[in-house]
Amino acid sequence: MALIVHKYGGTSMGSTERIRNVAKRVAKWARAGHQMVVVPSAMSGETNRLLGLAKELAPGKTADDYNRELDMLAATGEQASSALLAIALQAEGMQAVSYAGWQVQVKTDSAFTKARIESIDDARVRADLEAGKVVVITGFQGVDEAGNITTLGRGGSDTSAVAIAAAMKAHECLIYTDVDGVYTTDPRVEPDARRLTTVSFEEMLEMASLGSKVLQIRSVEFAGKYRVPLRVLSSFTPWDIDLKEEAKSGTLITFEEDENMEQAVVSGIAFNRDEAKISVLGVPDKPGIAYHILGAVADANVEVDVIIQNLSKDGRTDFSFTVHRNDYAKTIDLLKEKVLPTLGAADIVGDTKICKVSIVGIGMRSHVGVASKMFRVLSEEGINIQMISTSEIKTSVVIDEKYMELAVRALHKAFDLDQPAA
């Protein structure tokens, strides 16, 4: 008997039949004596449908021009699915109530379409739980200081669920999704990929930031910050499977390193095709240029990932970085307009046909030569490395997009990820 948070993704909420299954599953947990808080995403396709309507109405505009209204619009998807889930729970004989983010309240900053949660007031939810109700809270959205509706960006429902679990000091936060856990890499790319029964928080954080779509990175950050036990599991198991079995399924994100356990050197291969490379060529090599370039980019609210500054030659250097592909055109324009004239750089060039492939493993801390093994494997496959970025537990390379699957499969095999864990 504990306070449990369930989160269900859009696919799990994709039809009334599936919503009914979610309700039956939640009711099973509640009847076993648990206090249940449920965070659903919008029904699959709904957010795209709504944003598609907006795009039809404002084809020439960039999103920034009407972000506040996009959040008003997109937030309706989760409100509808939350109300539907509450109704389904009531039809199952449970007491249930649904709340939008502003009702709880889930307070965020005012960065429309990518807001960050600042605080959650749990009083109302706690009172309902004490009264025996299942509480359904909209994922993905909150309210800013001025009372505007905000959304947290794609996958934001994960973050909502973890933040609510943190605020409520939940025993565990279960993320029900359309995959049955965290894999060594995407099984659609490497059929021999294996499910991990546990993964360390740090590895999960790297995997999420590197493009694994299983969990939104901010949800993992939140889980880490507040040490929320987090489990990723499948919503497509029959709702009536044994609760004890269900509670052990999927992948648990752990915070304690088990010292007795032999850590795999590399736990997983992550990759993403969402980024684009931008290079500012012939930049005068003097103090402050990184700030000059990236400051302007940051001011436009564009996130930069890999950053590389080449060796200087004749007092000039090339400066490269990657941004999300959605921000590519905007960033190029911005640099040409604001940075090129004042910086005295020669030119700005870009490439959207790149991908980033990363190896992640907490074991890399204590093993040397992991990165060089990665470079050797890629070299043997004839894959040219364009950029490299490393951290304590991961090494990432930017390569030509067309080599992505080849790189992932070769690395998966080279690091024995297709073999059962020791």
Nearer to a second copy (CB atom), residue 90 or residue 197 = 90
**CB-based contacts of 204, cutoff 8 Å, min separation 6:** 182, 215, 220, 230, 253
Binding mask 100-139 for a second copy (x = CB under 8 A): x-xx------------------------------------
- Residue among 4, 5, 19, 354 that touches a second copy (CB under 8 A): 19
- Residue among 4, 36, 94, 97 that touches a second copy (CB under 8 A): 97
Does residue 221 interact with a second copy by CB under 8 A? no
Q: How far is the CB of 97 from a second copy (least distance, A)?
A: 7
Strands 96-99 and 134-137: what pairing? parallel
E strands along 80-209, which residues?
96-99, 106-108, 117-120, 134-137, 141-143, 149-151, 172-177, 182-183, 195-196, 198-200
**CB-based contacts of 345, cutoff 8 Å, min separation 6:** 280, 281, 282, 283, 284, 339
118: number of Cβ within 10 Å: 13
- Closest to 112 in 3D by CA, of 68, 172, 49: 68
Q: How far is the CB of 140 from a second copy (least distance, A)?
A: 13
Does residue 8 interact with a second copy by CB under 8 A? no
Question: What's the farthest any 2 CA atoms get from each other in the chain?
Answer: 76
Does residue 76 interact with a second copy by CB under 8 A? yes
3-state secondary structure of 269: strand
Does residue 147 interact with a second copy by CB under 8 A? yes
Does residue 380 interact with a second copy by CB under 8 A? no
- For the four alpha carbons of 154, 155, 156 and 159, in that order, the dihedral sign comes to negative
Binding mask 53-72 for a second copy (x = CB under 8 A): xx-xxxxxx---xx-xxx-x
Q: How far is the CB of 53 from a second copy (least distance, A)?
A: 6
Tally the C-alpha atoms within 13 A of residue 287's C-alpha that lie toward its C-beta.
0
Strands 35-40 and 3-8: what pairing? parallel
Q: How far is the CB of 277 from a second copy (least distance, A)?
A: 32
Does residue 86 interact with a second copy by CB under 8 A? yes
Which amino acid makes up residue 64?
D
Distance separating alpha carbons of residues 172 and 170, to the nearest angstrom: 5
Nearer to a second copy (CB atom), residue 103 or residue 198 = 103
Nearer to a second copy (CB atom), residue 80 or residue 111 = 80
Does residue 321 interact with a second copy by CB under 8 A? no
Applying CB under 8 A, which residues contact a second copy? Answer: 16, 19-20, 23, 50, 53-54, 56-61, 65-66, 68-70, 72-73, 75-77, 79-80, 82-84, 86-88, 90-91, 96-98, 100, 102-103, 147-149
